[in-house]
């Protein structure tokens, strides 16, 4: 099963402020460059969707209620939802703050078919009473509605949960999945964006069915391993297991990005932003006990063209000085001087710092390590603004 909360952020705000009920609600950054993080179903008919610039959303629906996002409220509610799902099965994998996968194959549930049952449709349909019970339990616990997709694998379950929202329940066998989706455009596949759609169209691939039947060797030639993954998705194949919450999901990267209040072309101002973001990333790495090796920089210009470039370092690290040094080199090499509206820094290739020892990593600058520990300690006690790098002040 895949559970997807309905317009989660906006629904939380509506629940906490009943006076908003029935009105179009937009949650996100309310400043000039803000982006819609969530829009409730009263706002959807106006063409508003998550990821849209808030200014455009205000133009489409000027009478909407605009709410600044509050992550603490959403995390608290998300944990309550997770706790509810755990009462049905321990095999729950949080997928995002408002989504989760559940594996019920080893759990007795109402209507479960007998061991001799072979029809995939009847096997999946037998889980419908449990799905309804989960929806009711979530509604009782947190006062919010959820949509569920049931399928033989995670990918198809994710696709199924998007068929009928809100409060929906869709069951898709692999055959039903193909019947429903193969005639649709490839952009309907979860994970395929506009650039990939255009690239596939150049190969004559417009529908999901065409992608499923296209010679795999040509797909891998043009898209590498991602070509194989896209075709497996089109076929409805996914062998990925549900990773229970108690096993943990490995962190792949840590990063921060910012949408600038105005387009910026001044190099020193951009470097100041890079320094601030690098400082934030380094602090997160140390706080969560990770070391990383690959530094990436993300930039987006005024025409929304996005560039991401990365560089691998000889050794793993968690020092914002090294992050910033590499990030500034990447910016100098790949920024053409056009005004930027967004800039970001991330570190990937992470390993746990617990028990990690590499003589050349910390031995050369023990004084700097002590300084970083002192800065982290002061910020823990007095807040992030207790100490600020001088280069950030501009």
pLDDT digits (tens, 9 = 90+) for 121-161: 777 888 899 999 999 999 999 999 999 999 999 999 999 99
pTM above 0.75, yes or no: no
Asked whether 156 and 177 are in contact (CB, 8 A), the reply is yes
Q: Give the separation between CA 346 and CA 279, rounded to whole angstroms.
A: 11
Query: Which of 374 and 112 is assigned the larger pLDDT?
Result: 374
Asked whether 190 and 155 are in contact (CB, 8 A), the reply is yes
User: In the predicted model, is pLDDT for residue 50 greater than 90?
Assistant: no
User: In the predicted model, is pLDDT for residue 8 greater than 90?
Assistant: yes
Q: Give the separation between CA 164 and CA 150, rounded to whole angstroms.
A: 12
Q: Give the separation between CA 388 and CA 382, rounded to whole angstroms.
A: 12
Active site (catalytic) residues? 99
For 56-76, the pLDDT digits (tens) are 988 999 999 998 888 888 999
User: In the predicted model, is pLDDT for residue 252 greater than 70?
Assistant: yes
pLDDT band of 357, cuts 50, 70, 90: low
């Amino acid at each position: 099963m895949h559970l997807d909360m309905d317009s989660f952020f906006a629904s939380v705000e509506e629940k906490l402020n009943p006076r908003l009920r029935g009105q179009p609600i937009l949650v996100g950054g309310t400043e000039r460059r803000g982006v819609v993080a969530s829009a409730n179903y009263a706002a959807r008919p106006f063409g508003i969707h998550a990821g849209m610039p808030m200014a455009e959303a205000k133009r489409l629906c000027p009478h909407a209620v605009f709410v600044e996002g509050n992550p603490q409220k959403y995390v608290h509610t998300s944990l309550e939802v997770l706790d509810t799902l755990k009462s049905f099965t321990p095999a729950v994998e949080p997928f995002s703050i408002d989504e989760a996968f559940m594996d019920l194959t080893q759990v007795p549930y109402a209507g479960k078919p007998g061991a001799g049952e072979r029809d995939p449709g009847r096997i999946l349909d037998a889980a419908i009473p449990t799905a309804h019970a989960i929806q009711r339990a979530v509604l009782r616990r947190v006062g919010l509605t959820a949509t569920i997709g049931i399928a033989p694998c995670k990918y198809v379950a994710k696709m199924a949960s998007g068929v009928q929202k809100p409060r929906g329940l869709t069951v898709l066998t692999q055959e039903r999945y193909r019947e429903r989706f193969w005639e649709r455009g490839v952009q309907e596949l979860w994970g395929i964006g506009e650039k990939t759609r255009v690239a596939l169209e150049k190969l004559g691939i417009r529908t999901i069915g065409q992608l499923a039947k296209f010679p795999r060797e040509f797909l891998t030639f043009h898209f590498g391993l991602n070509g194989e993954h896209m075709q497996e998705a089109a076929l409805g194949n996914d062998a990925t297991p549900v990773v229970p919450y108690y096993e943990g999901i490995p962190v792949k990267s840590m990063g921060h990005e910012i949408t600038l209040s105005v387009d910026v072309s001044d190099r020193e101002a951009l470097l100041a932003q890079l320094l601030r973001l690098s400082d934030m990333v380094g602090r997160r790495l140390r706080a969560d006990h990770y070391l990383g090796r690959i530094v990436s920089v993300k930039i987006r210009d005024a025409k929304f063209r996005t560039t991401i470039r990365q560089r691998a370092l000889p050794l793993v690290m968690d020092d914002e000085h090294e992050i910033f040094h590499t990030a500034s080199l990447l910016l100098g090499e790949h920024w053409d001087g056009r005004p930027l509206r967004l800039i970001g820094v991330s570190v990937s290739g992470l390993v746990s710092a617990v028990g990690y020892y590499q003589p050349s990593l910390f031995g050369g600058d023990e004084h700097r390590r002590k300084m970083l520990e002192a800065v982290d300690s002061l910020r823990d006690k007095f807040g992030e603004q207790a100490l600020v790098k001088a280069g950030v002040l501009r």
